[in-house]
Amino acid sequence: MTTWGQHDNQTYLDGIRQQDDAILEEIYANIQPPIITYLLKKNVSQEEAEDIFQDGLITVYNQILSNQLNLSSTFSAYLLGVCKRLHLKLYHKNKLKERVTNEASEVYEDDVMLPDEILEEMVIKNRIQKLFLQLDKSCQQVMDLFWQGKEHKEIQKIMGFGSEGYTRKKKHKCQKKLEAIIKNDPILKDIYKP
């Protein structure tokens, strides 16, 4: 059984749910390195491996929030399993089929009960969020307010813009910018097809 962490499962799950700095730092200090080492052996770059690890942790966080997580293995083994699934989903979608099948069975041994379509949706949302955070702060604020359901007039007031017309234009530009980044993203362009 894979055990790299210092705590029991419940401590990890509670710490992640509460976004506890100490637990998250411990995960990065003790659980991340062996998972990165594993991923590097699968021919991904250091940066890609770190991205997969981060997406894996966010996937686990999502599962905790929606009460979909019932661990029968250690937390570290589970997180490794999620990262393996994400790696397969993201980087081996249409290639190396034979190897993927072998690896997939290895993953299922780790007991990661995540339906494929849910995993795919999480992958897409994770990626969109990551790209969204690349927009400038004012674009992030405008789009967030808009999708929270605020009217243009309210957004104008909150952001201190000169007119409602400008606010509409700004929102439109920000949307276009995000969509352009999504279209050019190597991962989303394959699975999201904008």
Looking up tokens 């999480």, which residue turns up? 122
Considering only residues 52-111, where is the footprint of other proteins by CB under 8 A? 54, 57-58, 61-62, 65
**Minimum CB–partner distance for residue 172 and other proteins (Å):** 8
Figure out which of the listed residues 13, 52, 83, 178 binds other proteins, where binding follows CB under 8 A: 178
Return left, alpha or beta for 44; rule: phi > 0 is left, psi -120 to 50 is alpha, else beta.
beta
> Which among 21, 20, 22, 28 has a CA at the least distance from the CA of 4?
28
Instruction: Out of 95, 116, 148, 186, name the contact with other proteins by CB under 8 A.
Output: 148
Which secondary-structure segment (H or E) carries 144? helix 137-147
Contact 39, 53 (CB under 8 A): yes
Positions touching other proteins (CB under 8 A) are 19, 21, 24-25, 28-29, 32, 50, 54, 57-58, 61-62, 65, 121, 124-126, 128-130, 132-133, 136-138, 141, 143-144, 147-149, 153, 156, 159-166, 169, 172, 175, 178-179, 192-194
